[in-house]
Amino acid sequence: MMLMNSMHPSIPFEDGSYRREFDAEVDCASQDELVVRGAFRDYRFDMFQVWRVKTPEYEVLEATAGDRSGFVDVHALANFGLIAGVRVGRGFTRWVLEKIGDRKGSHETLLFAIEMARVSQQVYQFPPDLENSFRSHSADLTDLARAAWLKDRAYMPDLANSCYTYRDSSRELFDTREVRCGFDGSITRPKPGDKSVFWRKKQLSIQELDTSNWRCHIAMQDSIHDISVEFELSSAGIVSNAESRGLRLPYHGICEDAQLRTAMLNGMVITPRFSKQLGETVGGQSGCTHLFDLTSDCLRLFV
């Protein structure tokens, strides 16, 4: 019973509310290298990071970090360059923490790095042979979307069965539905020297409704997505009034199915194992990776 009555924000709120923002852009440096530039801020910190990333391995070749506010320990920032050599994927969080150490602002620096890692994997640099292997000669939007879907999975095998859209069985949906890409195909064919081939903005806000209830809202707009999630959370850890909206999605006609699962959050009692809970509702093969990430980002701000 103590667990259910102990949930509260992990950081102090200003005037009963909290807001955090993340912005990033990706430049194409060469045929197999990207430059990711990001900013991360709330009322305590104002950080920036710049990465050089090798594709298709998504290995961090070089990374720098700074904080204009002075909130983050200078040693954590100085050590941030040591994350070079890590690949985005399993073990990323542990690697970053080992390099920057347990210092003031290390947690926030890690959260920033996770956002940067997510962004870096949004730009694919298809080699010509892969592009030609899945080229569609049809003008039909669904056929074009199918070709893009197949290329995505071929270029990044980890996408297979990572979410509802990229699960194996979703291939059949292209035969029974009208599907269209919500992105410009040029995003997979950036030329060396191209700037801002991908951009992302995220806004997270939490409003105290009273001493034991909060309204959480997080939105993400980028070159491929326009998604928002909103829900209320009580001090007993109970979720209510959960809803999501997807105005721009990678594959219109398929991605909407996963959005319907957001209502399954209503009535859920959040526990310290909320990652598993969310994976079984809005995430996993039946859900959406971004719904999982957006909801998790809010819940991480509560203890």
109 occurs within a structural domain: yes
Q: Exposed, middle or buried, 139 (CB in 10 Å: 0-12/13-18/19+)?
A: exposed
pTM of the model: 0.93
**Structural domain tally of the chain?**
2
pLDDT tens per residue, range 187-209: 888 999 999 999 999 999 999 99
Residue 94 included in any domain:
yes
Q: List pLDDT tens digits, range 98-141.
A: 999 999 999 999 999 999 999 999 999 988 888 788 877 788 99
Q: What is the CATH number of the domain that holds 107?
A: 3.30.390.50
116 and 45 fall within a common domain: yes
103 in any annotated domain? yes
> Is position 253 within any domain?
no
240 within domain boundaries: no
List, for residues 6-19, the tens digit of each pLDDT value.
889 999 998 899 99
Residues 135 and 151 in one domain: yes
Q: Which residues contact 43 (CB under 8 A, 6 or more apart)?
A: 14, 18, 19
Q: Which of 69, 98, 124 is the last residue of a domain?
A: 124
Q: Which of 120, 105, 122, 92 is nearest to 182 (CA)?
A: 122
* One domain for residues 59 and 113: yes
Three-state SS letters, 172-219: HHHHCCCCEECCCHHHHCCCCCCCCCEEEEEEEEEEEEECCEEEEEEE
pLDDT mean across residues, the chain: 94
- pLDDT tens readout for residues 24-36: 999 999 999 999 9
Domain end residue (candidates: 171, 188, 205): 188
For residues 116 and 67, state if they share a domain.
Answer: yes
Residue 282 in any domain: the answer is no
Q: 27 in a domain, yes or no?
A: no
What is the end-to-end Cα distance of the chain in Å, rounded? 15
Domain that holds residue 70: 32-124
**162 and 92 in one domain?**
no
Asked whether residue 181 is assigned to any structural domain, the reply reads yes
**Where a domain ends, among 188, 204, 221?**
188
**Are 106 and 42 within one domain?**
yes
